[in-house]
Amino acid sequence: MQNLEKSMISKLIETAMEQLKFSYTPYSNFKVGASLLTKNGQIYTGCNIENAAYTPTNCAERTAIFKAVSEGRKEFAKIAIVSSSGLKTYPCGICRQVMSEFFKGNEQIILENAGEIIKYTIDYLLPDSFKL
């Protein structure tokens, strides 16, 4: 069971890394990749997509979540986030808010740096989040 969990986390990190090559970042050159695991075992990936007007930029996490939700998936288990920075990349406030919309609490938000893996919950990253 623990090995299955470890290999799934490795797979998510690997597929998130693969997204870095698709990142569209002519303005920041900061490439981010995300890989989202649904509860039924599907993986949705995403990269950041920048824009000349800056504010329309979409983060990698939101790309992955929106791809999944737009295909009818709303039950998630884990999301891995990586970047080209060589450091752990924490999700921005907007992505935390978007995660809080769909994450029920136990989902793992996985960050990786040089082989070190850290897992967070959405409640830790965005306590007392706004909900209607």
Catalytic residue among 5, 14, 50, 61: 61
The one-letter amino acid code at 128 reads D
The minimum distance between CB 111 and ligand THU, in angstroms, equals 10
The answer to whether 61 is a known catalytic residue is yes
Q: Does residue 48 belong to the site contacting ligand THU (CB under 6 A)?
A: yes
Site string for ligand THU, 79-118 (x = CB under 6 A): ------------xx--x-----------------------
Q: Which of 15, 37, 50, 78 binds ligand THU (CB under 6 A)?
A: 50
Q: From CA 112, how far away is CA 82, in angstroms rounded?
A: 6
Binding site for ligand THU (CB under 6 A): 25, 28, 30, 32, 48, 50, 57, 59-61, 91-92, 95
